[in-house]
């Protein structure tokens, strides 16, 4: 019989209380238990950033966060962006500036970008590149992603 | 081509952008079906050995395990994961679902199907295997020398090519001979989404496969033939993909998943983790290419002798064709009086090689452009001038295929690019002597547009008009995340003269949709785009015929624009597409629908010249790419923003190919870096700004004059960067990737 622990946490503004295995990864909790499949897994070891979510204001690799660590924390996933089907400024900028091709890195990229803009509303290009340095993209070559984040920030 | 285009030539976002930014798009790994089971594989930990005994009893006894499969309880039938069509040449069928002999670290030994992924993983660890270890042949040289150790029964040399084109010794007088050797390495495609498949089989007798693939019809052929099902009982649905770059173009995971689903009669999901994707799918092949050419003192190429060895890894898959493709490229780029090509394809006990973006062109063109710089230096000629003397001209005949190269504008690319990049000033400046040294390099490249001249291939599309004047374009297309659907949408919209949002373009479904050969050989824009163009043209004619019936006026008196039709001279009395569609249906029993099959009748060259500036830290050997210009002879950019995006992505991949990426194999066949922690892919801080310059001169049979971009975007990158590094340091490095260790060693030995 597996040990279970009780955890209370918030995801996208909604409160949850569940019993989970203590080695449950946040990425699996989100995707399997909450059905929030917008967060992706690309490597399982914190190298690619596809699983990036925001936890208490910081971008984290959800594949490296274990259930006990999310106790009392607020998590934001890609599903929290936008308003009732209307994309937010960042999402609109990504669409307009061609920052999306296959889309697999996109949720993680957007969450890293959002975490950056939450902390720094007018980042330099260097600061943007560092903020997304842990988000790998194989399709776009990053130029348009960086431009998109810059444009979304400039509007502030 | 001079009329104002409304939709073609505009930048639209990728068609499913809203779903991608919201996280709504369902990829195969997000797919969950009722009653679904999870599969996990046991992969061989050794590079070469017979499976002496295999005990699955403890795994089978674990609660939640449904079945365990090995070579003992699965079909003995072999297949080729590369097969696209039934009677295809060079499809060596040397692979089984599960092997009785491990031929590389990562070979498939067993599969567990269980009620959860965790259970399946635990069960895999409970399978006990005894191997009779065999000698490991980790390089082609070892494999060719060892006559006693056979990786497959027929021997380690899979195939060899040898051919000659043209006239030997044409410029025998006063020629210099230059020889170079280039090693290209095994590379992981590194699509962000790993390999995954879902399959289901039930009492309908139908197998359904949700595949992230580049050729649904090829997957169907392989799976149906392997499992002995009729093709009408196997449905392959092409799903959204998190990138492929060729890594998902062969049926690696689909046959296994399909077999498992059929065996357990429930949906099964097989998801590879990153390590499994690196070692147990396919890699770009490692190659060794020796080029020996003769050149006159005033820079005209004479005899061009090429010798390549391609490391196929443990199974042949596409390697014979891949090596052949390498042999057909150089004559698309340069005018060569005599071309000789020898190629060997060799088995090794290493991860399986397969097609990767460029499919032989990057491998051979990197060697070629490193060689061309060496030749120019040997005869003390300017690097650009030397190319200009030998590059092909528009409408030259490609010696290797006997086809016209079409409106081949590579000379224009080189001249305009050199001017734009400031090549002369940068190249002829005083070389740096301190710790940080800058250098510049460029490389020319050629690729193709489809398979005409090599393979028979075609695309079928059905374009139907809905009663409200909107359209459905049903195709067998595979969007790899690169914008295929969007550009096909734009082409159809341009012909029909209606906003692209009125046309839905569907992707490959072997049951619900028409046939397409697949996303290979840079055929999609040139062939599939042309098919969409032709289908739309024919539907437009039918619309006008119906309008003619409604307006009671022959077609030649009618004009159509913006989804409306009117009699010339009576612009105020328009009828809309909606009215035409509805009236045709209800009053004339006419359904406006066309099915069109298109195949190519030409295969022009597509060209690019890339320029790179680098800064090398001679103390650490680290290379920074400080400036980059990519010039492309694209014919016509259907969607310029996406073309630029493809080029920038190709450069990211090419920088990795030149400097960082390699799947490293030890002498014992063990993979030394099977994780993104030590397999280095370029990230945002290390990526330079990539400027692009598009040459749009049309002239060939693609839609609106368009030529390909996805593969050619990658082909010249590595050579441009390597040539720049060699320029900065005065070295002649050609053993890829140019790691800091190799650079420091080269500087120390100078």
Residue of B nearest to A97 (CA): B13
DSSP state of A66: B
**Per the CB < 8 Å rule, is B675 touching A45?**
yes
Of the residues B40, B117, B192, the best mutation for testing chain A's interface (the one with the most A CB atoms within 10 Å of its CB) is B192
**Per the CB < 8 Å rule, is B243 touching A42?**
no
Min CA distance, A120 vs chain B (Å)?
Answer: 18
Q: Which residues of A touch B21 (CB under 8 A)?
A: 78, 81-82, 87, 91, 94-95, 100, 103, 106, 110
Q: Which tokens hold the place of B269? A: 């999901």
Contacts of B330 (CB under 8 A, 6+ apart): B304, B306, B336, B339, B364, B365, B368, B400
Min CA distance, B718 vs chain A (Å)?
Answer: 15
Of residues B17, B30, B193, nearest to A100 (C-beta): B17
Mean pLDDT of B391-413: 97
B678 sits in the region (left: phi over 0; alpha: psi -120 to 50; else beta) called: alpha
pLDDT at B87 over 80: yes
Of the residues B12, B22, B244, the best mutation for testing chain A's interface (the one with the most A CB atoms within 10 Å of its CB) is B22
pLDDT at B256 over 50: yes
Consecutive H or E run containing B277? helix B274-279
Place of tokens 């798009």: B25
Tell me what pLDDT residue B170 has: 75
* Per-residue model confidence as pLDDT tens digits over B605-640: 999 999 999 999 999 999 999 999 999 999 999 999
**Per the CB < 8 Å rule, is B274 touching A45?**
yes
* Per-residue model confidence as pLDDT tens digits over B463-505: 999 999 999 999 999 999 999 999 999 999 999 999 999 999 9
Rounded CA separation B662/B741 (Å)? 14
* Reported pTM: 0.97
Tell me what pLDDT residue B81 has: 97
pLDDT at B300 over 90: yes
Of residues B19, B192, B683, nearest to A50 (C-beta): B192
* Per-residue model confidence as pLDDT tens digits over B285-296: 999 999 999 999
Consecutive H or E run containing B325? helix B319-327
* Per-residue model confidence as pLDDT tens digits over B343-373: 999 999 999 999 999 999 999 999 999 999 9
* Per-residue model confidence as pLDDT tens digits over B455-466: 899 999 999 999
Q: Is B315 helix (H, G, I), strand (E, B) or coil?
A: coil
- How many residues appear in chain A? 156
Tell me what pLDDT residue A156 has: 56
pLDDT at B89 over 90: no
**Per the CB < 8 Å rule, is A141 touching B687?**
yes
Of the residues A34, A43, A59, A146, the best mutation for testing chain B's interface (the one with the most B CB atoms within 10 Å of its CB) is A43
DSSP state of B547: H
Measured CA angle at B431 (ends B428, B433), to 5 deg: 175
Q: Which residues of B touch A12 (CB under 8 A)?
A: none
Tell me what pLDDT residue B734 has: 98
Rounded CA separation B612/B442 (Å)? 6
* Per-residue model confidence as pLDDT tens digits over B675-691: 999 999 999 999 999 99
* Per-residue model confidence as pLDDT tens digits over B569-609: 999 999 999 999 999 999 999 999 999 999 999 999 999 99
Q: Which residues of B touch A142 (CB under 8 A)?
A: 648, 652, 683-684, 687
Q: Which residues of B touch A31 (CB under 8 A)?
A: 30
Rounded CA separation B310/B319 (Å)? 8
Partners of residue B306 on adjacent β-strands: B291, B341
Residue of B nearest to A37 (CA): B30
Q: How many CB pairs under 8 A join A and B?
A: 177
CA A57 to chain centre: 11
Min CA distance, A113 vs chain B (Å)?
Answer: 12
Count Cβ atoms within 10 A of the Cβ of residue A35 and give its class: 0-12 exposed, 13-18 middle, 19 or more buried.
Answer: exposed
pLDDT at B698 over 80: yes
Of residues A95, A132, A135, nearest to B21 (C-beta): A95
First to last CA, chain B: 55
Q: Which residues of B touch A109 (CB under 8 A)?
A: none
Min CA distance, B562 vs chain A (Å)?
Answer: 24
Min CA distance, A143 vs chain B (Å)?
Answer: 6
Of residues A95, A139, A142, nearest to B481 (C-beta): A139
**Per the CB < 8 Å rule, is A136 touching B26?**
no
Domains, chain A, in order of start with CATH, read 5-80 (3.10.20.30), 89-154 (1.10.150.120)
Of residues B18, B644, B681, nearest to A87 (C-beta): B18
Of residues A47, A103, A110, nearest to B25 (C-beta): A103
* Per-residue model confidence as pLDDT tens digits over B523-555: 999 999 999 999 999 999 999 999 999 999 999
From residue B284, alpha-carbon distances to A97, A129, A137, B194, B357 in Å are 31, 29, 19, 16, 8
**Per the CB < 8 Å rule, is B243 touching A139?**
yes
Q: Which residues of B touch A82 (CB under 8 A)?
A: 21-22
Min CA distance, B547 vs chain A (Å)?
Answer: 37
Min CA distance, A148 vs chain B (Å)?
Answer: 13
Cis peptide upstream of residue B286 (ω within 30 degrees of 0): no
Of the residues B683, B711, B717, the best mutation for testing chain A's interface (the one with the most A CB atoms within 10 Å of its CB) is B683
Tell me what pLDDT residue B171 has: 72
What CATH number does domain B286-449+603-748 carry, 3.40.50.300, 3.40.109.10, 3.30.365.10, 3.40.50.10210? 3.30.365.10
**Per the CB < 8 Å rule, is A103 touching B483?**
no
Place of tokens 């000789």: B340
Residue of B nearest to A106 (CA): B21
Question: ipTM surpassing 0.95, yes or no?
Answer: yes
Residue of B nearest to A141 (CA): B649
**Per the CB < 8 Å rule, is A100 touching B21?**
yes
Q: Which residues of A touch B650 (CB under 8 A)?
A: 141
**Per the CB < 8 Å rule, is B241 touching A138?**
no
Tell me what pLDDT residue A42 has: 98
Q: Which residues of A touch B29 (CB under 8 A)?
A: 40-41
Tell me what pLDDT residue B1 has: 46
Q: Which residues of B touch A76 (CB under 8 A)?
A: none
Q: Tell me the domain boundaries of chain B.
A: 17-23+454-599, 31-134+195-271, 286-449+603-748
Looking at chain B, the whole-number percentage of residues with pLDDT higher than 70 is: 99
Place of tokens 């070559």: A141
**Per the CB < 8 Å rule, is A101 touching B481?**
yes
- The candidate with the shortest Cα–Cα distance to B684, out of A40, A54, A148, A122, is A148
| Contact status, residue A48 vs residue A135, Cβ threshold 8 Å | yes
Half-sphere exposure of B340 (CA within 13 A, CB side): 13
Rounded CA separation B465/B469 (Å)? 6
**Per the CB < 8 Å rule, is B675 touching A43?**
yes
pLDDT at B243 over 50: yes
Classify strands B234-238 and B207-211 as parallel, antiparallel or unpaired: parallel
Tell me what pLDDT residue B343 has: 97
**Per the CB < 8 Å rule, is B645 touching A94?**
no
Mean pLDDT over each residue of chain B, to the nearest integer: 97
Min CA distance, A130 vs chain B (Å)?
Answer: 6
- The candidate with the shortest Cα–Cα distance to B249, out of B302, B321, B308, is B321
Count Cβ atoms within 10 A of the Cβ of residue A18 and give its class: 0-12 exposed, 13-18 middle, 19 or more buried.
Answer: middle
Contacts of B748 (CB under 8 A, 6+ apart): none
Of residues B191, B273, B651, nearest to A141 (C-beta): B651
Q: Which residues of A touch B629 (CB under 8 A)?
A: none
Of residues B24, B274, B645, nearest to A140 (C-beta): B645
In terms of CATH, what superfamily is B31-134+195-271? Aldehyde oxidase/xanthine dehydrogenase, a/b hammerhead (3.90.1170.50)
Tell me what pLDDT residue B109 has: 98
What CATH number does domain B17-23+454-599 carry, 3.90.960.10, 3.40.30.10, 3.90.550.10, 3.30.365.10? 3.30.365.10
Q: Which residues of A touch B481 (CB under 8 A)?
A: 101-104, 139
Q: Same CATH topology for B17-23+454-599 and B286-449+603-748?
A: yes
Consecutive H or E run containing B566? strand B564-567
**Confidence bin at A1 (pLDDT 50/70/90):** low
Min CA distance, B26 vs chain A (Å)?
Answer: 8
DSSP-assigned letters across all residues of B117-134? HHHHHHHHHT-EEEEEE-
Residue of B nearest to A101 (CA): B481
pLDDT at B567 over 80: yes
| Contact status, residue B256 vs residue B269, Cβ threshold 8 Å | no
Other CB atoms within a 10 A radius of the CB of residue A123 amount to 18
Place of tokens 């197998």: B207
């Amino acid at each position: 019989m597996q040990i279970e622990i009780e955890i209370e946490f918030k995801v996208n503004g909604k409160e949850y209380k569940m019993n989970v295995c203590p080695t449950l990864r946040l990425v699996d909790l989100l995707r399997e238990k909450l059905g929030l499949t917008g967060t992706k897994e690309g490597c399982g070891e914190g190298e690619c950033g596809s699983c990036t979510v925001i936890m208490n204001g910081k971008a984290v690799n959800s594949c490296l966060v274990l259930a006990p660590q999310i106790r009392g924390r607020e998590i934001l996933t890609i599903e929290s962006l936008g308003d009732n089907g209307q994309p937010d400024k960042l999402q609109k900028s990504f669409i307009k500036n061609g920052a999306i091709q296959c889309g697999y890195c996109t949720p993680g990229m957007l969450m890293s970008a959002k975490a950056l803009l939450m902390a720094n509303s007018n980042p330099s290009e260097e600061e943007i590149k560092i903020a997304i340095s842990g988000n790998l993209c194989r399709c776009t070559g990053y130029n348009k992603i960086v431009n998109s984040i810059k444009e979304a920030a400039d509007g502030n | 081509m001079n009329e104002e285009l409304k939709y073609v030539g505009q930048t639209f976002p990728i068609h499913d952008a809203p779903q991608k930014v919201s996280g709504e798009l369902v990829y195969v790994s997000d797919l969950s079906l009722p009653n679904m089971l999870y599969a996990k594989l046991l992969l061989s930990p050794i590079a070469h050995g017979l499976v002496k005994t295999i005990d699955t009893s403890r795994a089978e006894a674990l609660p939640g395990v449904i079945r365990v499969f090995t070579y003992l309880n699965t079909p003995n039938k072999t297949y080729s994961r590369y097969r696209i069509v039934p009677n295809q040449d060079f499809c060596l069928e040397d692979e089984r679902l599960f092997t009785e002999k491990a031929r590389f670290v990562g070979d498939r030994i067993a599969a567990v199907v269980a009620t959860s992924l965790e259970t399946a993983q635990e069960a895999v660890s409970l399978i006990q295997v005894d191997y009779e270890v065999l000698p490991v042949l980790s390089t082609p040289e070892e494999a060719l020398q060892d006559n006693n150790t056979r990786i497959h029964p027929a021997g380690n040399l899979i195939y060899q090519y040898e051919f000659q084109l043209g006239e030997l010794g044409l410029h025998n007088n006063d020629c210099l001979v230059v020889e170079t050797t280039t090693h290209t390495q095994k590379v992981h495609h590194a699509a962000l989404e790993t390999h995954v498949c879902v399959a289901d089989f039930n009492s309908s007798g139908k197998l359904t496969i949700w595949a992230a693939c580049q050729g649904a019809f090829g997957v169907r052929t392989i799976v149906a033939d392997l499992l002995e099902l009729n093709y009408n009982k196997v449905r392959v649905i092409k799903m959204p993909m998190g990138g492929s770059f060729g890594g998902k173009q062969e049926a690696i995971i689909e046959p296994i998943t399909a077999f498992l689903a059929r065996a357990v009669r429930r949906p099964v999901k097989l998801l590879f983790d990153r390590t499994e994707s690196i070692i147990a799918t396919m890699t770009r092949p490692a190659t060794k290419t020796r080029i020996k050419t003769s050149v006159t003192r005033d820079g005209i190429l004479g005899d061009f002798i090429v010798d390549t060895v391609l490391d196929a890894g443990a199974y042949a898959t596409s390697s014979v064709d891949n090596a052949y493709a390498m042999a057909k490229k150089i004559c698309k780029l340069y005018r060569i009086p005599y071309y000789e090509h020898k190629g060997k394809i060799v088995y090794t006990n290493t991860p399986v090689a397969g097609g990767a973006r460029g499919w032989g062109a990057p491998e051979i063109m990197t060697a070629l452009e490193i060689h061309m710089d060496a030749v120019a230096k040997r005869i003390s000629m300017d690097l650009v001038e030397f190319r200009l003397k030998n590059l092909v001209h528009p409408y030259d005949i490609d010696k290797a295929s006997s086809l016209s190269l079409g409106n081949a504008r590579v000379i224009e690319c080189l001249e305009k690019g050199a001017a734009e990049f400031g090549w002369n000033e940068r190249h002829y400046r005083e070389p740096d002597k301190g710790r940080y040294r800058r250098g510049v390099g460029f490389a020319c490249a050629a690729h193709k547009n489809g398979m005409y001249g090599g393979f028979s291939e075609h695309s079928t599309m059905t374009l139907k008009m809905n009663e409200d004047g909107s359209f459905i374009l049903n195709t067998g297309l595979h969007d790899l995340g690169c914008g295929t659907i969007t550009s096909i949408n734009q082409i159809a919209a341009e012909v029909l003269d209606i906003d692209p949002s009125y046309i839905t373009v569907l992707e490959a479904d072997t049951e619900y949709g028409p046939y397409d050969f697949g996303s290979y050989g840079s055929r999609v824009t040139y062939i599939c785009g042309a098919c969409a163009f032709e289908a739309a043209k024919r539907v437009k004619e039918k619309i006008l015929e119906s309008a003619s019936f409604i307006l009671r006026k022959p077609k030649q008196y009618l004009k159509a624009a913006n989804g409306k039709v009117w009699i010339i001279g009576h612009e105020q009395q328009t009828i809309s597409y909606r009215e035409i569609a509805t009236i045709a249906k209800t009053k004339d029993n006419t359904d406006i629908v066309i099915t069109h099959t298109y195949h190519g009748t030409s295969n022009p060259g597509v060209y690019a010249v890339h320029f790179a500036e680098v800064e090398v830290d001679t103390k650490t050997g680290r290379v920074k790419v400080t400036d980059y210009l990519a010039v492309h002879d694209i014919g016509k950019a259907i969607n310029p923003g996406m073309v630029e995006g493809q080029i920038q992505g190709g450069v990211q991949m090419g920088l990795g190919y030149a400097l960082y990426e390699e799947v490293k194999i030890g002498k014992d066949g063990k993979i030394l870096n099977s994780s993104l922690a030590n397999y280095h892919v370029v990230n945002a801080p290390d990526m330079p700004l990539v400027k692009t310059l598009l040459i749009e001169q049309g002239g060939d049979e693609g839609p609106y004059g368009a030529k390909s971009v996805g593969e050619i975007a990658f082909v010249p990158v590595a050579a441009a960067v390597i040539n720049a590094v060699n320029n900065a340091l005065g070295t002649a490095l050609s053993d890829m990737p140019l790691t800091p260790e190799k650079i420091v060693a080269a500087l120390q030995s100078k």
